[in-house]
Amino acid sequence: PDSTTDGNLSALFGVQVYSDLNPAYWTQNNQIFPEEDFVPLVEALQTAQAGGNGAIAKASLTTVENKLMGVPAGLQVELGVYYLSMPTAWKAQLPANVQADLDAEDSPYPDFPHYSTMTMLSLTEPQVNLLTNMLSWTLLQNQDLVSSVLDDHSAGISTA
């Protein structure tokens, strides 16, 4: 992992990609999974992304104790991760003018799909529509994996 890996995800595995000097990134107390499980998850996300249908993966994990968060060691967890990225197969299906807009230096979709949640306080209708389309397309392409995560989760929920 490097600094392009999201620090919030990696911190769950005790992997720090941000400097602890910046208080906005104090994530050193967030570990709830073994560090050795991080690289296989990243590799699964990278493999999924390379397949063209988006970075989605599922991992079977066991928690490590985190007293601060109240997480006991030994819990079995099925973790589903949808890592925001632009699927190449989705982009290839877009109209040529939209593909050109995405690639343009003065794009109406700057930094798509990674809009800042701190500095970009509103999105245009075309930005929202394109982002929504990409997200829903990605979920549909990966519906078996998504369903398996949701089915695993709902199996442990009692409605009584």
Q: What is the pLDDT of residues 57-90, one digit of tens each?
A: 999 999 999 999 999 999 999 999 999 999 999 9
Tabulate helix, strand, coil % of the chain (nearest 5). 40, 10, 45
User: What burial letters (b/e) apply to 125-136, b meaning 16+ CB within 10 Å?
Assistant: eebeebbeebee
Inside any domain, residue 80: yes
Q: For the whole model, what pTM was predicted?
A: 0.83
Whether residue 5 is predicted with pLDDT greater than 90 in this model: the reply is: no
The average pLDDT across 123-133 equals: 95
pLDDT of residue 27: 74
Distance, in Å, from the CA atom of 137 to the CA atom of 91, rounded to the nearest integer, reads 10
Name the pLDDT band for 1 (thresholds 50, 70, 90): very low
Question: Is residue 81, in this structure, part of any structural domain at all?
Answer: yes
Q: How many domains does the chain have?
A: 1
Q: Give 31-40 pLDDT, tens digit per residue.
A: 999 999 999 9
Specify the pLDDT at position 8: 82
Average pLDDT rounded to a whole number, residues 27-34: 88
Higher-confidence position of 75 and 153: 75
State the residue range of the domain holding 12: 7-155
- Average pLDDT of the residues of the chain: 87
Q: Is residue 34 part of a domain?
A: yes
Residue 1 lies inside a defined structural domain of this protein: no
